[in-house]
Amino acid sequence: MSRTGGTGLEAPATKRAKHTGKKHGLWPRSWMQMLRRVSQALFLGWFLGLLFAARELNAGDAERFDHFFFQIDPLIQIFTWFSARTLATFSLLAVGTLLVTVLLGRVFCGWMCPLGTLHHFFGWLGTRFRRPKDRLRAAAWTRAQNFKYFLLAALLVMALFGAHWIGIFDPISLLQRTFGTAVLPALQYALEDSSTAVYQADPQVGPLHATLLTEPAYQFTRDHVFTKARKAFLGGVTIFAVFLGILGLNFFRNRFWCRYICPTGALLGLFSRRPALRLKNDASACKQCDGCLLVCPAGAEPHHPGKYLPTECYACWNCVAACKFETIKFKFARPLRRTTEAKLDAKRRSVVTAAAAGVVGFLLLRVSPQAQGKTYNPVLIRPPGALPEREFLQRCLQCGLCMDVCPTNALHPAWTQAGLEGLWTPVLVPQHGFCEYACNLCGKVCPTQAIQALPMPEKKKVKIGMATFDTTRCLPYAYGRSCIVCEEHCPIPTKAIYFVETEVTLRDGAKPVLKQPRVDAELCIGCGICENKCVFEDRAAVRITSANETRHPQNQPILAGGAFSSVVADSYAP
């Protein structure tokens, strides 16, 4: 359907696009635009400040950590409730977000969401590279914008069945995960290694050394920005590539993610169908120049008097500022009263299809034996305090906060270890780090209590796995050499690793007595420090598996009171 008028006063579409597009630059044209950009900058800065604060947390500071952005996100609160059948973390701030949306429309998307701010900037940047004749087509509303509502419906059905995958798409979780596991580690690596390279090369121009500039910058970031050891995450490249792809879509359509995919935007769109603050376009004065359409990042149809789409509008005020004839204004009206002919285009057949897709998605997530709890992956080692796997996945947001605060870089985003349902959830990888004995930060910062905040004495007793020795690689077993590294690093006061002195015969006939390590399964908590510190760097001679973990009574090879439990004994009874 054509979006240009027939008054005869307008110029051809390409000229209109070229003329109006030039005036919509980086600098705001109204005080409301300025206020909105200040708000976006403040909320983005707040988000980044909390992100850096999480990276610098110490064990005693976690109680004061601010989950503000997770608390104002109603999607997280609602879907966690549906999936886990319990309100893990109730926040009035999320209710406030919905109330503000009912009154003012999707101001969260346009004024507060940090990911939306990035999309807004890259959308503006994409417009600079778009040909003038393509700008009208890219700005107009399309039926595909309904996809986000169908995605929301599918994810809702999955949550009702107990599959919590909202963290993959939620903007706060997505941004937290990306910056925590990819962007900031890459930035720290670039700053530290580039300054080190300059320091070692010491280039100079005449008497001036380049280190006069790089060293003060390095020292400042070391002391005030990146004060902790550098981290690197498995899967960080994939997460970063996905994020770049999401931002790159803005060069195809402004705020593509927000318009077509974001389930948070869809939820807020449902609550903003009849807001109190509404756009008014005077049909008698409108010249159909499409200037407002060109600057609308949402496809909200401000250029069609009476057909404006409040469910899509971010209240960014671009259209008001761009209108040369001052026919567009935002005004307050009685809430819940319909004042526009446009309505959400959600046909019953499409909604049923989306619900069916949610059922299929749930089945795909649960089709494997591991997802049904029939097998246990030995490398799926969860943080201490993690709920049983099914309950854990019903709450985990894949946000990566626990990975950010882990002081030893032991937690990484899962890829295949936990199946499709557990994509990007935290998994402990002893080869890269170990669970610090006197640390319970991961449980304290978890926004949905998928990881319980255990008191320190209790945390020290929780078993997340068990150590096993590969005697074909262990030096005292396989090579007749003394080594006590694993026992030295074991943090348990009474040592979960002990030695049995054994006489061995070497090639030359010598018979030294070596200390061969053993594991006391009653004491081992599976922290992974023995594997991490093993002298074999390629593949450790001692390895941690998920066996004997406290959270799963079924995954217990070491049974209390004897070799067989009552369950096993009954299975062998005549």
Chunk the chain into consecutive blocks of 10 residues (it has 574) and report each block's average pLDDT, rounded to whole numbers. Answer: 35 38 55 93 95 82 77 92 76 91 94 96 86 80 92 94 92 96 93 90 86 88 86 95 96 93 95 89 83 88 86 92 87 74 68 90 88 90 95 94 95 94 96 94 92 94 96 95 96 95 92 95 96 95 96 84 38 32
Q: Facing residues of 428 across strands?
A: 411
Q: Fill in the DSSP letter of residue 451.
A: B
Which tokens is 385 given?
């305090």
φ, ψ at 125 (rounded to 5°): -65, -40
Q: Give CA–CA dist 459/409, Å, rounded.
A: 18
Q: In whole angstroms, what is the distance from residue 428 CA to residue 67 CA?
A: 23
User: What does the pLDDT read at residue 346?
Assistant: 65
- Tell me which residue of 123, 114, 35, 103 sits closest to 320, measured CA to CA: 35
- Residues paired with 502 in a beta bridge: 514
**First-residue to last-residue Cα distance in the chain:** 78
What pLDDT is stored for residue 342 in this prediction? 59
Packed helices 74-84 and 92-104: angle between N→C axes, nearest 10 degrees: 130
Q: How far apart are CA 310 and CA 307, in angstroms?
A: 9
Pick the closest to residue 161 from 345, 403, 421 (CA basis): 421
Nearest one of 443, 469, 458 to 525, comparing CA atoms: 458
DSSP string, 389-412: HHHHHTT-----HHHHH-TTS-EE
Longest dimension (CA), the chain: 106
Contact present, 441 and 405 (Cβ < 8 Å): yes
pLDDT tens for 41-52 read 999 999 999 998
pLDDT averaged over every residue in the chain: 87
What pLDDT is recorded for position 401?
Answer: 95
| Residue spans per domain, the chain | 30-57+70-365, 389-561
Q: Match 């580690």 to its residue by tokens.
A: 185
Give the CA-trace dihedral at 164, 439, 491, 555, to 10 degrees: -20
DSSP symbols for 484-516: -HHHHH--STT-SEEEEEEE---TTS---EEEE
Q: Measured between alpha carbons, how far is 260 from 330 in angstroms, rounded to an integer? A: 24
DSSP-assigned beta bridge partners for residue 518: 498
Q: Residue 25, SS3?
A: coil
Name the burial class of residue 128, with classes exposed (0-12), middle (13-18) and buried (19+) by CB atoms within 10 angstroms of its CB.
exposed
Q: How confident is the model at residue 85, as a pLDDT?
A: 79
Q: What is the pTM of this model?
A: 0.88
The pLDDT value recorded for residue 12 is 36
Q: Which long-range contacts (CB under 8 A, 24 or more apart) does 324-330 make?
A: 324/289, 324/291, 325/285, 325/286, 325/287, 325/289, 327/281, 327/282, 327/285, 327/286, 327/287, 328/279, 328/280, 328/281, 328/282, 328/292, 328/302, 329/279, 329/280, 330/277, 330/278, 330/279, 330/280
